[in-house]
Amino acid sequence: MGNESEIKQAAALLKQARSIGCLTGAGISAESGVATFRDALTGLWAHFDPQRLASQEGFAQDPGLVWRWYMERLQMVERAQPNPGHVALAQLEQWAPAFSLFTQNVDDLHERAGSRQIYHLHGSIARFRCNICAVEHPLQPAERDAPQPPACRHCGGPVRPAVVWFGELLPAAVLAAARHVASHCDLFLVVGTSGVVYPAAELPSLARRSGAMVIDVNPEPGPMADEADLFLQGPGGQILPDLLAAMRS
């Protein structure tokens, strides 16, 4: 990797950090075969606007289309395995005195990689609730192939994934925890996010304004790299294990 010296610098910063905040995006799951949010629209979904599908308006307009999109993405997540990037973050959590992981991802790959302190800023694709009364709805096997969303057993309303759609508020306690960690940590590690979706995208600049060092891991330079003190260019599945190895040497 062309950035050995940056890896060494980043490893030294991680080793001396007393508290670490971490924000991950779809990119950390890309190497597990879970398409990133924008790629998720390849193939069948290429001609739909992602912000329309992941919204109340999109769901109201065509609940069946949105339901099938989520059932397809759920299957992709269930077939996926955590990659070395997810595992490295779980190891970093074991190592660091204080480590909080905030993910924009709705998959459970961080959990399956062994991370413990995980906050889902945008909810989870594996949980479902009524769009009207919010009662939890355990997904039934037959509902996975249904053309339309199931009806809530409590009020008959349409069931939807327990994710945060565009225009919906993030879970207040999770967002408050993220802002607290970003404002108080020594080091803020950003992995695999394009940094375009707010309010999650504000966290690295909040951390930097509050005095933390910010490290961005991404194959592409982007808004997050501009916010970072150190930009490690490359895939998370490669860079993060290299970082852990450099910390041990």
Residues of this chain that bind Zn ion (CB under 5 A): 130, 132-133, 135, 152, 154-155, 157
Binders of ligand BV8 among residues 101 to 120 (CB under 6 A) are: 104, 106
Q: Which listed residue (21, 27, 58, 149) binds ligand BV8 by CB under 6 A?
A: 27
| Residue 124 interacting with ligand BV8 (CB under 6 A) | no
Torsion angle, alpha carbons of 146, 148, 151, 157, to 10: 160
**Binder of residue 157, out of Zn ion, ligand BV8, none (CB less than 5 to 8 A by kind):** Zn ion
Asked if 236 and 31 touch (Cβ cutoff 8 Å), the reply is: yes
| Residue 218 interacting with ligand BV8 (CB under 6 A) | yes
Q: Which listed residue (7, 13, 22, 37) binds ligand BV8 by CB under 6 A?
A: 37
Catalytic residue list: 122
Asked if 125 and 141 touch (Cβ cutoff 8 Å), the reply is: no
Q: Which listed residue (21, 25, 84, 158) binds ligand BV8 by CB under 6 A?
A: 25
Using alpha carbons, select from 191, 163, 16 the residue that is nearest to residue 86. 191
Torsion angle, alpha carbons of 48, 166, 99, 208, to 10: 100
Closest contact distance (angstroms) between CB of 97 and ligand BV8 is 26
Burial of residue 82, with CB atoms counted within 10 A of its CB: 0-12 exposed, 13-18 middle, 19 or more buried: buried
- Residue 46 or 169 having the CB closest to ligand BV8: 169
**Binder of residue 30, out of Zn ion, ligand BV8, none (CB less than 5 to 8 A by kind):** ligand BV8
Q: Which listed residue (100, 162, 193, 216) binds ligand BV8 by CB under 6 A?
A: 193
Planar angle of CA 88, 161, 111, nearest 5 degrees: 20
Q: Which two tokens stand for residue 82?
A: 């955590």
Query: CB nearest ligand BV8: which residue?
Result: 27
| Residue 197 interacting with ligand BV8 (CB under 6 A) | yes
Beta bridge partners of 129: 136, 160
Q: Which listed residue (11, 101, 130, 163) binds ligand BV8 by CB under 6 A?
A: 163
Considering only the stretches 109-117, 151-159, 166-174, 182-190, report the one whose residues sit in contact with ligand BV8 under the rule CB under 6 A: 166-174
Binders of ligand BV8 among residues 71 to 90 (CB under 6 A) are: none
150-155 — which CB contacts under 8 Å span 24+ positions?
154/130, 155/130
d(CA 64, CA 147): 6
Binding residue count for ligand BV8, defined by CB under 6 A = 36
| Residue 66 interacting with ligand BV8 (CB under 6 A) | no
Radius of gyration of the chain from its Cα atoms, rounded to whole angstroms: 19
